[in-house]
Amino acid sequence: MDDAVRARDAAREALDDIEPDRLREVLFDRLDETSMTPGALTILSARALKPGVDADADGLAERAAGVQLIYEGLRLTRTLTHEEPWLTADGEDIDGDMDVLAADVLVSRGFYVLARTNAAKRAVEVVRSFGRDQTLRQEQDDAETLDRNLEADIFTLAVVAGTTAVGGDAPPALLEYAAELARECDADGALPPAAAAFSDATTERIASLSVASATDDRVPSSATDR
């Protein structure tokens, strides 16, 4: 089973108790259609430090799911903020209302999954940064850069969630690399499939940055220094 499949299955499991059924179906449909790159990066980051790690052990697959759910919820929120699909000609938009609810559930459940991990604080920072960026987006003529900060922040969350799952650390140099990696992956405005996003060199780079900076205990407030 590859990392993308593991991340998707774990994310679906995390949402399996959501009701009503219609909402759960909407959530599952989004997971089936989206790139699992953030979740896969979480597992890859753990494997970079502990090559033989079992993705289903130590809560690693769950962490991947938490990262993926937060990303998908914020990505949906970003879309809704831009398109504002609130009303139809008759003044109603059931699909729009469902999407708003879905976005909230995705982020909330992602937080729940990561709440008792070393990635919890970073998850909060990601959501706060997203809120600031979307506010600034309405005031500044730099929409593309501000929008793409989400992917950079999510990738930093992924490496934190992955490395700490196996007792490692995500020092500043690794967080900076993760942010750069996100911008490269998101060059066309959308994340590629997980299988096409990372190479063996990515794993090696994550491992080397974690080891090289292991004595540097500084933790920046934002990986992108905004």
Domains of the chain: 3-212 (1.10.600.10)
Strands (E), 72-224: none
Tokens, residue 218: 């500084």
Q: What angle do CA 163, 114, 64 make, to 5 degrees?
A: 55
Query: What is the pLDDT at residue 95?
Result: 63
Burial (CB count within 10 angstroms: exposed 0-12, middle 13-18, buried 19+), residue 171 = buried
pLDDT per residue as tens digits for the range 112-156: 999 999 999 999 999 999 999 888 887 776 666 777 899 999 999
Whether 133 contacts 154, CB under 8 Å: no
Task: Report the C-alpha gap between 32 and 39 in whole angstroms.
Answer: 13
pLDDT range class, residue 25, cuts 50, 70, 90: very high
Q: How far apart are CA 200 and CA 208, in angstroms?
A: 12
Average of pLDDT values for 163-168?
93
Task: Please give the Cα distance from 14 to 62 (Å, whole number).
Answer: 8
Cβ-contact 172, 132 below 8 angstroms: no
Q: Could you report the per-residue pLDDT of 175-225, keeping only the tens digit for each?
A: 999 999 998 887 666 899 888 889 889 999 999 998 655 444 433 334 443
**Helical (H) or strand (E) element with 217:** none
Q: Which long-range contacts (CB under 8 A, 24 or more apart) does 22-30 make?
A: 22/98, 23/98, 23/101, 23/102, 23/105, 26/98, 26/99, 26/102, 27/102, 27/105, 27/106, 30/72, 30/76, 30/102, 30/106
For 76-91, what is the mean pLDDT?
69
Q: What is the pLDDT of residue 92?
A: 56
